[in-house]
Chain A
Amino acid sequence: MRFNNMVIGIAAILSGAFIFIYSQSFPDLGDGRPGASLFPMILSALLVIVGLVQIPSGVKNAKNGETLVTRLPEFNLHGFCNFLVVVMCVLFYIYASDFLGFIITSFLIMFVLTLTLRARVAVSIAVSLGATLCVYLMFNKMLMVPLPVGLFSF
């Protein structure tokens, strides 16, 4: 997904303006000397300027026929589904690992991902199981990382 520079510029200007205004609520050092707000205010002001710089090239590109949002060739239905599945898998881990535990969550994620990426079911099961156990042994047993155990205690 490629955005026209106008969109990038406007996003930068709006973000910069928000940060600039929000930063004014930060406390100063007293006697009128700037404190916590100084850096965010300088940086957000620069962000607004850089945003403004993007606009002319965006307008020029728009005049040459570029749309505000251009779909990249690889961002087709197949690619978008794969992209979404990766993101959903990580979100699933964040919300489900405490309940299901690391081993089940990791196996499910890898199984779904390998299948989405067109692996055969048998290979997918074998790789997901093997990789889950490897990661578990390496991080939990060797490096003592307290991976989530979940309701089933593993």
Chain B
Amino acid sequence: MLTFENLTHAAGLLADINVIIVIALASLYGLFVGAMPGLTASMATALLVPVTFFMEPVPALAAMVAMEAMAIFAGDIPATLIHIPGTPSSAAYVEDSYALTKQGQASRVMGVQLAVSVIGGFIGTIILIFLAPVLAEVALNFSTYEYFWLACFGLSCAVMVSGGSTSKALLSLLIGLLLNCVGIDVAVGFPRFTFDNPDLFDGFSFIPVMIGMFGVAEILRNVLVKESRIAPFVAQTGNIFKGVWEPIAKNWGNMFRSGIVGTAVGILPGAGADIAAWVTYGLAKRFSKTPEKFGQGTYEGIVAASAANNAALAGAWVPALVFGIPGDSITAIIIGVLYMKNLQPGPNIFVRSPEIILAVYGTFILANILLIPFGWLAIKLASKVLRVPRNLLYPVILMFCVVGAFAINNSVFDIGVMLVFGVAAYFMECNGIPVAPAILGLVLGDLLERSFMVSMMKSEWSLVPFFERPISAVLGIIVILIWTTPVIIPYIKRKMAKA
């Protein structure tokens, strides 16, 4: 894959002036959304899809990569200045950031966050570049048995890592999988749950569902609360890079460990940048000599979690590109984009379209380099961005949602789908039912059913071949362990307690 010809081809694709303009605009969009409390990177990605729908694959993917990298960093800005995380990924260290702001160190904190976000982003990108092709090489030998277990693994991880009640996460997953059953089935071509409505024959269109679950649900959540006055904050006139080196140098090992752990968490299906931030923050506290300072304003937690959330972004692309299994909600949407561009994610994409993969790598590198000037600009303009009135912003976002949902198939039916899923997602979250497993169910449902039905037909309805091939057997055992551990461990603990 890594031939001189492919490299020059990918570099040529990225050097196109249109691609550069797209990356710059997507970066500004990502910074704005990230810095705006209440708007998430997933929502921004869903709203970007209708625009990328009309682009070539490289600018479309480049826009998404640049946007998500910027948005995740920009979430740190309101967390530091006004004690409200811009995105959930900045929530883990908001107390430390704001505590340091109150000590007059806001510029330095944001400088540190920017620097470690760039370093974290590079750690994730390097792992993506080296790990993805190796895994793709292995995955080329996968048959439907391995894919079935991989889909099970992805869905099981989504349930386990979603946080909160496992049974409610499972409920969410089942809702997603059942929604995926709507439309023509893979085994006999029978229209299921379509109720003679031709709009449902192809199932629910993925993008309107995403726009509804992320965009409309977000708007509904925000319009319910009265706009509170944003806390006044001290103008940031100082040099943000002044004094940045010291906390980074003190936390060198912590930062690299967090970058690697963040990437690993990103690779896990269903676990994204926000979980990576919480996990690494917890790890940093555990390894710290002064854990009591966490939450009171320490750079240790900030460096760890801020590096991890940007590293997780690239990590999430590993399973998405290699297996077609999303690492987080953002890559779930991106998989939809890849299908729209006739680029089926999986190991074959590394063989058939290596220039696209290399261009994705290149964009990650470029986005992390651009994060320095763009991030600096965002910090300088933060006071203006944070003063954009939310009561004017939400109606505009709603209109983008409506037109975006319509634009995919030019169908008003899709706007209805968007609305229904938006309201449903809002009520799901109100009731502690996480949305992410449902989304993974929708994305992976087809792979799960198709690989299972094809495997069963190949094996003439015997389950034995699911454990006959070595990788399939290992994956199967891992999945069964994931399913049974939550039942077995409490049972063993009870037995030991009795003894």
Chain A residues with CB under 8 Å of chain B are 1-3, 8, 12, 19, 22-23, 26-29, 33, 35-36, 38-40, 43-44, 46-47, 50-51, 53-54, 72, 74-75, 78-80, 82-83, 85-87, 89-91, 93-94, 97-98, 102, 106, 109-110, 113-114, 117-119, 123-124, 127-128, 131-132, 135, 138-139, 143-147
Contact = CB atoms under 8 A, between A and B. Distances in A.
A23 B182 CA distance: 11
B423 A79 contact: no
A97 B399 CA distance: 12
Interface in B81-119: none
Contact of A26 (B171, B192, B402, B453): B192
Nearest to B51: A143
Given A145-B403, A145-B410, A29 B391 contact: no
12 contacts: A3-B431, A26-B192, A27-B188, A72-B430, A83-B223, A86-B223, A94-B416, A109-B402, A113-B395, A117-B395, A139-B403, A139-B407
A115 to B, nearest CB: 9
Q: Is the interface of B mostly helix, strand, loop or mixed?
A: helix
A132 B399 contact: yes
Nearest to A44: B178
Contacts of B427: 1
A96 to B, nearest CB: 11
Given A8-B431, A91-B419, A127-B396, A144 B54 contact: yes
A37 to B, nearest CB: 8
B430 A33 contact: no
Nearest to B391: A117
A120 B217 CA distance: 25
A79 B190 contact: no
Nearest to B412: A94
Contacts of B225: 74, 79
Nearest to A15: B178
A57 to B, nearest CB: 8
Contacts of B400: 135
A75 B396 contact: no
Given A26-B185, A93-B402, A143-B54, A43 B177 contact: yes
A109 B51 contact: no
A83 B187 contact: no
Interface string B385-405: 000011110111011101100
Contacts of B495: none
B73 interface: no
Interface string B153-193: 00000000000000110110010011001000101101011
Contacts of B224: 74-75, 79-80, 82-83
B190 A26 contact: yes
Nearest to B224: A79
Contact of B391 (A44, A90, A119): A119
B279 interface: no
A44 B54 CA distance: 38
B71 to A, nearest CB: 20
B415 A131 contact: no
Contacts of B193: 22, 40
Contact of A27 (B50, B190, B390): B190
Given A117-B394, A131-B395, 7 more contacts: A36-B185, A50-B171, A50-B174, A83-B224, A110-B399, A117-B223, A145-B407
Contacts of B307: none
A118 B457 CA distance: 61
Nearest to A76: B224
B220 interface: yes
A120 to B, nearest CB: 10
A97 to B, nearest CB: 7
Nearest to A4: B431
A87 B167 contact: no
Contacts of B416: 94
Interface centre among B54, B168, B174, B178 (most CB of A within 10 A): B174
Contact of B402 (A38, A90, A144): A90
Contact of B399 (A36, A80, A131): A131
B219 A86 contact: yes
Nearest to B176: A43
B415 to A, nearest CB: 5
A3 B193 CA distance: 27
B187 A29 contact: yes
B187 A147 contact: no
